[in-house]
Every structure is written in structure tokens, then in C-alpha cells.
Structure 1
């Protein structure tokens, strides 16, 4: 029977090696390839649902907006300019790469009536509500008696 020397740190090193892949990409160089998640504001009024996504630096041709069934999907890509790669960067904090956001639409939204506008790095999506989902005002007649 062989005698093995006990190493109190063996389990720690084993645990570290198992966790390393989870944290790969959090260093500064990974900022060039890691994707980003654009911030979004969502609000609703009587006639429409509006989403505003912050996507500065994303060109219009790199945006893909789709509605399938009751899901709105926005995909895009922000590329790192090749000319800038040769610069001597001290710090890179902006994220580059692809993003993908999906939103479940309420049944009151008309999926065939979507308007998309892109201005100053903000993608604005307006989804009109179905006519039956919009509130209807009822006129109240004043001065008429109920007994008549």
C-alpha cells in the first residue's frame, strides 16, 4: 500500500480550477469580445406600448427587430473599429459584441402594427394596441330623469 502525502490545499486548488471557466472573460481584454445588454425603458398608455433601448454605436443595419407569436425580439451588434485596435489603449470600458433581448407582449398589443425609429443611439419601438383593447368613452346625458 502506497502512502500519499496529505496536502491541505489540494481541495482548494481543485475548487479553483473548477471555477476558473466561470470567471473567464471578466478581465479587461475580454471587454472587446463580450456582449452587452442594452438598458430598456418600457411604458404604456391607452393606445400603445413603447420600448426605448439604449444602443449607442450600433448601426441601423446591425439591428434586427422581430415579432413572433407574442414575443418581441431585438438583436444587434456593436463592432470594435479595426483602426482603433492599433491605438495604445490604457482602459477599455465600453462593451462590444452582440446582444439579444426578448419581451413577452401583452395580448392587447397588435403585433402587425409596430413602428421602429432609431435616433441618437436610442431605438424606440411603438406597438399599437388592438382597437378592442383601447378604452372607450361613454357619453353621460345630464338632466334626463331615469323614470322617464
Structure 2
């Protein structure tokens, strides 16, 4: 009986190890794919504690701002999903080979007799820094915000194709 208990313990240990590996692999994959998209929302410039605000839940401070960087022959296109942000609350800055997107998602406080049961949307000021794969012409950059998606088009400069240089 003691031997069968020892064997069962070993089997349980092996299976727990496999389960932990699968779980760890899932988290590693999530972090590698979406780690940059996980964005911290700090206090907005107009966000102050209002009288009677204790009824409001603590606002989430982390959210995903999922994006993509696409490269064509002529331009780099950056798209960022960011619903609920007003067009005038965006600030777009290009510095070297980085695109900085910052803004504020405002929480409209409506006071009425209600209770929040779920609050998963984050509010406040945020900033994302996106590395650009090539040099871009910042003077010809264009941006638009439609249906909750920010699109920034950045024309490439110079010879955008990789080139091999031989040593003499």
C-alpha cells in the first residue's frame, strides 16, 4: 500500500509539473505578444477626488491598447485600438525611430443611485512608445482617428531596403 501511495504521489507531482509548464507557457506567450500593449493609465489632469466619490469603485489603471506596425514599400503604418478617447485628447510625437502616443481617456462621473458590479475599462492619462523599423519623414506624417482606431502613416526616407556592405 505504501508503494502505491508513493507512486501516486510521483504521478501527481509529474502531472502538476506538466500543468504548471502549460500555464507558464501561456503567460510567457501572452507577455511576449501583448506586453507592450499593456498600458498604465495614470490620473488625468482633470481627475480630482469629488465629494461623495467613495461610492464609486476604484478605477482600473491598466488596460490593453492593442496596436500593429505595418511596413509597405513606401511607408510605416501604425494602428492603435483605443476606443473612448476624444480626438482632441491625443498627442502624437515622433522622435528618432520612436513614435510616442499619449492621451487621456476621461471618466464621466454621473451621479445617480446605482452600483457598479463590473468595471474593467481603464481611464486616465496614458503613453505608449512604439519603435519604428525604419527612418521616416516626420514632416509628411499623417494621422487620423476613426471608429476608435488611431492610424498614423509615416512615409519612409532614403533607401528603405536592407543592403549588405562588403569589407575591402
TM-score clears 0.5: yes
> After the TM superposition, which of the residue ranges 83-92 and 70-79 deviates more from structure 2?
83-92
CA contact 2:103–2:126 (8 Å) conserved in 1 = yes
State yes or no: 1:45 paired with 2:72: yes
Question: Which residue does 2:141 correspond to in 1?
Answer: 114
Structure whose CA Rg is larger: 1
Question: Which residue does 1:101 correspond to in 2?
Answer: 128
- Unmatched segments (≥5 aa) in structure 1: 1-27, 135-148
State yes or no: 1:123 paired with 2:114: no
Secondary structure of 1:52's counterpart equals strand
Question: Which residue does 1:89 correspond to in 2?
Answer: 116
Q: How does 1:123-142 map to 2 (within 5 A)?
A: 123-133=150-160
How many residues are matched?
Answer: 107
Shift of 1:108: 3.2
CA contact 2:100–2:129 (8 Å) conserved in 1 = yes
Cα 1:35–1:110 shift into 2, 3 Å: same
TM-score computed with the length of structure 1 as normaliser? 0.63
Shift of 1:96: 1.2
Richer in strand (by share): 1
TM-score computed with the length of structure 2 as normaliser? 0.56
Richer in helix (by share): 2
Q: How does 1:59-98 map to 2 (within 5 A)?
A: 59-83=86-110, 87-98=114-125
